[in-house]
Structure 1
Amino acid sequence: MARRPHSVLPLLARQAATVLGLAAVAGGGAWLAYSRLAIDHRLPLPRALPGRLDALDTEAGRVALYGSDEGSGPPLLLVHSVNAAASAYEVRPLFLHERGRRPVYALDLPGFGASERGRRRYTPDLMVAAIHAAAAEVRRRHGGAALDALALSLSAEYLARAALERPGDYRRLALISPTGFDARLSGRAPPGGHRGKDRLRAVLDAPPFGRAVFDALVSRPSMRFFLEKTWGSTDIDEGLLDYGYASAHQPGAEHAPFCFIAGHLFPTDATALYEALDLPVLVIHGSRGDFVDYRDLPRFAGRRNWTVERLPTGAFPHFEDLAAVTRALDGVRAEASSAVA
């Protein structure tokens, strides 16, 4: 019998149950003491990417933007996924490939990487505001030129909304392993909604135990476990694991991930967002791992402005087969350029 592909929400439910169970253990004091005294929450965090690094003051707080303005052609903005240890390192293979060929930029979303990590409710509105700010800054540096943009996983929904709210900012979109095409995370609810549970977030992010719970969630064995689910194999990228571990061991690193686990970062209008896009859209997704439920995608594949590529990889195909991903990106780029001409 074929294994049923997993969606994000069941995995989140298991994560929440795990961390709540760990909270009970932490209540005994042993893990809390270990978290406070033995775990370094200020690990050195090198730059995720080469090139220029700026801090943008935005509606979403201070947001880190990496950039390289070498090369010619429309600039490209890269947006990482959302998880317990997310950062711009997740787009590193694409950034390095494009650097020097064209202007390329990548942001750390609010609550992640080198961006501000305060205790607040992180929502899709906040993420879209950060993407708007990054896109505006990139366009300012390049004479107002419209962008190409690429997003991973859940951030595909944020990018779709950003493109709908400010269509003049974008020429085309690329979505790698996008969420919102399965039975649980699709939806046509009114814009701006999310699936957050405030009580769950309050329990998870309550001091003094919140940080201790998060430390258990982002231990190296736990992170390796979830990366193997993402890859669909044990052959994960060790650099991504190392950087993710460092990124998850910074002051305030727990706040945005707890909103993720509690559902606040999941929009309720994914289907409506995707249906409304009328610019060129490329979707690339893998066939391995726990995130391969794309049952609603075939009806989009038939649209004139959508191109869908399925690769024999996990959910981060640009780490496993960069050549195949960039061939697909270059092909749609050429089509978009021809259409403009």
Structure 2
Amino acid sequence: MRRQPGKNGRAGSYGIAAVLTFLGSAAGLVGWSRFAVSRQMDLPPALPGQLETLATDRAGTVALYGSSDQEGVPLLLIHSINAAANAYEVRPLYKHYRESRPVYALDLPGFGFSERSRRRYTPRLMVEAIHAAVAEIRDRHRGGAVDAMALSLSCSYLARAAVERPDAYRSLGLISPTGFDAKLSGDGPLDGHRGRDSVRDLLDRKPFGRPLFDALASRPSMRFFLQKTFGSRDIDEGLFAYDYASAHQPGAEHAPYCFIAGHLFPTDSTRLYEELRLPVWMVHGRRGDFVDYRLAPRVAGRPNWRVVSLPTGAFPHFERLDDVTADYDAFLADLTWAPLQPQA
């Protein structure tokens, strides 16, 4: 008489099957990533003009685009932070302003043509890159102050840089800044971050770190997240194509894993915005997943702030460039007030 397997036997069989399924899936992921995914795609410059690299003491090698054929106050543009971030995100603004003034764009550490080594990417590292870029630009333009504009999470890095070196800036522009929402407002420790080393170390390690990133940076995944950013299926296809190529370069996973693990999210962003005494222009969209600006009234009524919103997603300069630049130009034309004095 044949004995039927008991519950413990069936459970053991299911457990073994689950383990084998997991191992097979993991092996398949690694194989797909290694043999079917290119990690050295052709990556042309994201912007016209000159592309050069700066060797910095604290941020490694960073890439800086520049177009300085025109006279005027230099404008520095800084892209956002995500799995495939790069200077293409500021392309409409860069191309527009290169016709009337010197304009520069920075690839932050870990992105674009900047150094992508495996290291801890934090707000402090990004601030040091901004400091280095601004110092270089000022040296090229007789030491004058610059205008600077950043996107999304990078707005908090620019705010920190301006708080630390206010004399280097004439004004700040913030597009869809992170830090005015319920989840990522920053009244925490100064110059801190929200990172968990255990998460980063779990993700960014062999043999699964790069295969997992390849899955995250697949075309369907990247299109999905861009649609959330634009708040529409109508995304910019040029940006999508460049993002995909940028995310398929050696070392492309390291900074995004720090982003996922929280290391690139400051603890003090809202506090930094409130400390700004320079003229600040801010614009945000009203469509998509990034529309929580419930804390904006904390600065909107201040005489050095101008806050506007548009019926767009989080990248309004791709959708309504004329409206964005017209309002920004009006803001710049009105730069006649003196910076606010620190409160006693």
- Cα shift at 1:336: 1.1
- Cα shift at 1:339: 6.1
Partner-residue secondary structure (3-state), 1:120: coil
Alpha-carbon distance between aligned partners in 2 of 1:175 and 1:279, rounded to the nearest angstrom = 12
Which of 54, 57, 62 in structure 1 is aligned with 2:55?
57
Computed over aligned residues only, the root mean square deviation of the Cα atoms, in angstroms, reads 1.3
2:165 maps to what in 1? Answer: 166
2:331 maps to what in 1? Answer: 332
* Greater Cα offset, 291-300 or 42-51: 291-300
1:306 maps to what in 2? Answer: 305
Alpha-carbon distance between aligned partners in 2 of 1:254 and 1:82, rounded to the nearest angstrom = 13
Which of 36, 45, 48 in structure 1 is aligned with 2:34?
36
Alpha-carbon distance between aligned partners in 2 of 1:241 and 1:187, rounded to the nearest angstrom = 30
Please list the CA deviations of residues 98-119 of structure 1 after superposition, one character each: whole Å capped at 9, or x if unmatched.
Answer: 0120000001000000000000
One-letter code aligned to 2:311: P
Spell out the pairing of 1:29-108 with structure 2 (5 A cutoff). 29-58=27-56, 59-108=58-107
TM-score (norm 2): 0.90
- Cα shift at 1:78: 0.2
1:3 maps to what in 2? Answer: none
Please list the CA deviations of residues 34-59 of structure 1 after superposition, one character each: whole Å capped at 9, or x if unmatched.
Answer: 10111110000000001011100111
1:26/1:245 Cα in 2 relative to 1: closer, same or farther (>3 Å)? Answer: farther
Please list the CA deviations of residues 262-307 of structure 1 after superposition, one character each: whole Å capped at 9, or x if unmatched.
Answer: 0000000011101100111011000000011000002311011000
Contact 2:274 2:298 in 1 (8 A): no
1:136 maps to what in 2? Answer: 135
1:337/1:137 Cα in 2 relative to 1: closer, same or farther (>3 Å)? Answer: farther
One-letter code aligned to 2:330: G
Alpha-carbon distance between aligned partners in 2 of 1:69 and 1:131, rounded to the nearest angstrom = 18
1:212 maps to what in 2? Answer: 211
1:304/1:60 Cα in 2 relative to 1: closer, same or farther (>3 Å)? Answer: same
One-letter code aligned to 2:331: V
1:338/1:161 Cα in 2 relative to 1: closer, same or farther (>3 Å)? Answer: closer
Please list the CA deviations of residues 296-324 of structure 1 after superposition, one character each: whole Å capped at 9, or x if unmatched.
Answer: 00231101100011000000000000001
Structure 2 residues without counterparts, runs of 5 or longer: 1-21, 340-344
Alpha-carbon distance between aligned partners in 2 of 1:45 and 1:109, rounded to the nearest angstrom = 16
- Cα shift at 1:231: 0.5
One-letter code aligned to 2:27: G
Please list the CA deviations of residues 195-253 of structure 1 after superposition, one character each: whole Å capped at 9, or x if unmatched.
Answer: 00111111110111100000000100000000000011000000000000000000000
Partner-residue secondary structure (3-state), 1:257: helix
One-letter code aligned to 1:282: W
Alpha-carbon distance between aligned partners in 1 of 2:23 and 2:265, rounded to the nearest angstrom = 29
TM-score (norm 1): 0.91
1:20 maps to what in 2? Answer: none
Partner-residue secondary structure (3-state), 1:28: helix
Spell out the pairing of 1:161-310 with structure 2 (5 A cutoff). 161-310=160-309
Alpha-carbon distance between aligned partners in 2 of 1:159 and 1:128, rounded to the nearest angstrom = 7
Alpha-carbon distance between aligned partners in 2 of 1:32 and 1:67, rounded to the nearest angstrom = 39
Which structure carries more relative contact order (alpha carbon 8 Å, separation 6+)?
1
Alpha-carbon distance between aligned partners in 2 of 1:99 and 1:337, rounded to the nearest angstrom = 24
Deviation above 3 Å: which 4+ runs of structure 1?
A: 24-27, 337-340
1:270/1:220 Cα in 2 relative to 1: closer, same or farther (>3 Å)? Answer: same
Alpha-carbon distance between aligned partners in 1 of 2:302 and 2:143, rounded to the nearest angstrom = 29
Query: Identity over the aligned pairs, expressed in percent?
Result: 66
1:18 maps to what in 2? Answer: none
Partner-residue secondary structure (3-state), 2:335: helix
